[in-house]
């Protein structure tokens, strides 16, 4: 009887998944009417804006769930639901069935929502607490419409269960040419009390910069195994553990629209919306490092007058201006967590011959928004250092993720997690 129920459950799982052929196992927004998608560890103070800076990573024993928030600009979507997908370390779908990692049926109605209040641009704000799961590892949360089964958004998150210890530190790069521009992460792993059949091969290690999946290094193998101490040492000679330092992020403060906040050059108040123009920016690649207290590329949603940014923060078109010479061989973007670190038409800049600058207007919810400028050339990787420069003293956050697939396991478990702060000043 149990086998029949499990088989029926598996068949319903694969049948339902077949409907979401457009879904990606990554951070992505599929509908232009969905904006400000936030996923973060929940805290008791639901309106504390600093809650939005933490990455969606929690221990499996956490008493607070991950919380998803997003806005629907049509204000008329109904019947929204959420579903969770288990992934391997490389973000391919795992072989687990729903019943192996969830405690209940993997199809959750989203019933908590609220209309915006006292804003020129109306929207519906949704909130959803991610249910507790059985296993550590990588997951993707999907939101879709009950009618038509249209995918609206997907967001990655991780749950870790500490089985191995990580000793790590950040410092200036040991590379002779990179010592003033790059940072490196040194680490070792202790697996005392945790069974590894082949310590040289069993663990998969990932290092991220500023919690970004577009700033990841992996493929690390231990250079020395101490079986008696159950210690894995990682020593690198070819800068495999080195990251460009980047620069402190630029930012602007739009928490109030009654006056110009930091970085706001001009405010235009119309009946249907309030528009902002950011102070024109210049290249920082050759004029030295400037210390700024930033959010390492993240952003917070907030409204100063009420303190209820979730439903009282307004949406404002924001004009960015980058004063550099026209470069027909390059494409420039305004990059940041506010756009899920994606380079697309939303944040692509166009050259304005009258202003002699690249410009882009983006609709962004009120708050404190970090951003920088990214250059893309054909056949090359996106380059933030071209405009922003790279400086070894730049404050950055790093985290290390350790995955292991036990014998006969059907997914990669997240068995170690550690964050490392470099040059933190606050």
- Between strands 396-404 and 413-422, the pairing is antiparallel
* Mean pLDDT score of the chain: 92
Residue 289 confidence (pLDDT) = 82
352 and 212 fall within a common domain: no
33 and 108 fall within a common domain: yes
Beta-carbon-side half-sphere exposure of residue 141 (alpha carbons within 13 Å): 27
Mean pLDDT on 250-277? 96
CA–CA distances in Å: residue 368 to residues 264, 320, 336: 11, 15, 12
301 and 186 fall within a common domain: no
Residue 17, helix vs strand vs coil: helix
68 and 195 fall within a common domain: no
Residue 423 has pLDDT above 90, yes or no: no
- Between strands 182-190 and 165-172, the pairing is antiparallel
Residue 53 confidence (pLDDT) = 87
- What's the rounded Cα separation, in Å, for the pair 253 and 263? 7
Count of domains for the chain = 3
Strand partners, 41: 66
Find the helix or strand (DSSP H, E) in which 11 lies. helix 2-17
176 and 106 fall within a common domain: no
Q: In percent, how much of the chain has pLDDT > 90? A: 85
Burial of 79 (0-12, 13-18, 19+ CB in 10 A): exposed
Residue 15 has pLDDT above 70, yes or no: no
- What's the rounded Cα separation, in Å, for the pair 404 and 415? 7
125 and 196 fall within a common domain: no
**Residue-range definition of the domain harbouring residue 128:** 2-159
Among 124, 159, 194, identify where a domain stops: 159
Among 159, 175, 209, identify where a domain stops: 159
| Cβ pair 154, 141 in contact under 8 A | yes
Residue 6 confidence (pLDDT) = 45
Q: Considering only CA atoms, which of 20, 106, 110, 25 is closest in space to residue 70?
A: 110
306 and 383 fall within a common domain: yes
Choose between 286 and 8: higher pLDDT: 286
Confidence of residue 374 (pLDDT cuts 50, 70, 90): very high
Residue 405 has pLDDT above 60, yes or no: yes
Residue 38 is given by DSSP the state: E
Choose between 18 and 198: higher pLDDT: 198
Mean pLDDT on 238-267? 95
Strand partners, 142: 83, 154
Residue 218 has pLDDT above 70, yes or no: yes
- Sign, CA torsion 254/256/257/263: negative
Alpha helices in 156-308 (DSSP H): none
Residue 190, helix vs strand vs coil: strand
Question: Over the Cα atoms of the chain, what is R_g?
Answer: 23
Range with the poorest average pLDDT among 284-298, 321-335, 390-404: 284-298
- What's the rounded Cα separation, in Å, for the pair 410 and 276? 50
Residue 51, helix vs strand vs coil: helix
Residue 284 confidence (pLDDT) = 92
355 and 406 fall within a common domain: no
Q: What is the CATH number of the domain that holds 405?
A: 2.60.40
Highest-confidence range of 44-58, 70-84, 398-412, by mean pLDDT? 398-412
17 and 154 fall within a common domain: yes
Contacts 24+ apart (CB under 8 A), 341-348: 341/27, 341/212, 341/213, 341/214, 341/297, 342/27, 342/28, 343/374, 343/376, 343/382
Find the helix or strand (DSSP H, E) in which 8 lies. helix 2-17
Task: Give every CB contact of residue 237 below 8 A, 6+ residues apart in sequence.
Answer: none
179 and 218 fall within a common domain: yes
- Between strands 203-209 and 80-87, the pairing is unpaired
Q: Considering only CA atoms, which of 331, 335, 341 is closest in space to residue 378?
A: 331
Confidence of residue 17 (pLDDT cuts 50, 70, 90): low
pLDDT digit string, tens, across residues 123-150? 999 999 999 999 999 999 999 998 888 9
Confidence of residue 52 (pLDDT cuts 50, 70, 90): confident
Residue 101 phi, psi (nearest 5): -125, -5
Q: Considering only CA atoms, which of 317, 382, 378, 313 is closest in space to residue 346?
A: 317
Strand partners, 208: 216, 399
Residue 290 has pLDDT above 90, yes or no: no
Residue 315 confidence (pLDDT) = 98
Residue 5 confidence (pLDDT) = 44
Confidence of residue 18 (pLDDT cuts 50, 70, 90): low
Burial of 403 (0-12, 13-18, 19+ CB in 10 A): buried
Residue 12 confidence (pLDDT) = 45
154 and 7 fall within a common domain: yes
Confidence of residue 19 (pLDDT cuts 50, 70, 90): low
This prediction has a pTM of 0.92
Residue 426 confidence (pLDDT) = 63
260 and 213 fall within a common domain: no
Confidence of residue 286 (pLDDT cuts 50, 70, 90): confident
């Amino acid at each position: 009887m149990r086998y029949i129920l499990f088989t029926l459950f598996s068949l319903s799982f694969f049948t339902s998944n077949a409907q979401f052929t457009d879904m990606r196992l990554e951070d992505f927004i599929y509908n232009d009417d969905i904006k400000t998608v936030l996923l973060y560890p929940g805290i008791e103070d639901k309106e504390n804006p600093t809650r939005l800076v933490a990455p969606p990573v929690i221990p499996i024993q956490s008493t607070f769930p991950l919380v998803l928030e997003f806005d629907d600009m049509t204000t008329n979507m109904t019947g929204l639901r959420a579903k969770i997908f288990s992934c391997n370390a490389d973000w391919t779908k795992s072989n687990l069935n729903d019943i192996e990692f969830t405690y209940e049926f993997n199809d959750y109605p989203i019933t908590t929502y609220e209309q915006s209040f006292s804003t020129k641009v109306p929207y519906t704000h949704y909130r959803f607490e991610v249910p507790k799961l059985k296993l550590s590892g990588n997951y993707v949360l999907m939101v879709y419409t009950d009618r038509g089964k249209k995918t609206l958004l997907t967001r990655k998150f991780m749950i870790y269960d500490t089985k191995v210890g990580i000793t790590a530190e950040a410092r200036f790069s040991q590379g002779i040419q990179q010592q003033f521009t790059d940072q490196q992460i040194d680490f070792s792993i202790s697996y005392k009390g945790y069974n590894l059949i082949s310590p040289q091969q069993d663990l998969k290690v990932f290092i991220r910069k500023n919690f970004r999946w577009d700033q990841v290094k992996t493929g690390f193998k231990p250079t020395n195994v101490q079986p008696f101490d159950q210690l894995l040492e990682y020593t690198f000679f070819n800068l495999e553990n080195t990251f460009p330092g980047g620069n402190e992020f630029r930012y602007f403060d739009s928490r109030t629209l009654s006056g110009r906040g930091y970085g706001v050059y001009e405010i235009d108040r119309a009946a249907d919306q309030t528009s902002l123009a950011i102070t024109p920016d210049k290249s920082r690649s050759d004029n030295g490092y400037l210390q700024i207290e930033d959010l390492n590329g993240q952003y917070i949603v907030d409204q100063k007058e009420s303190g209820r940014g979730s439903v009282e923060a307004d949406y404002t078109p924001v004009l960015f201006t980058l004063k550099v010479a026209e470069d027909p061989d390059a494409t420039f973007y305004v990059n940041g967590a506010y756009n899920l670190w994606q380079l697309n038409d939303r944040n692509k800049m166009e050259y304005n011959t009258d202003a002699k600058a690249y410009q882009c207007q983006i609709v962004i919810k009120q708050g404190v928004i970090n951003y920088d400028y990214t250059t893309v050339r054909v056949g090359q990787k996106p380059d933030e250092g071209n405009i922003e420069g790279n400086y070894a003293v730049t404050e950055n956050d790093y985290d290390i993720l350790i995955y292991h697939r036990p014998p006969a396991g059907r997914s990669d478990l997240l068995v170690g997690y550690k964050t490392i702060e470099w040059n933190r000043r606050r």
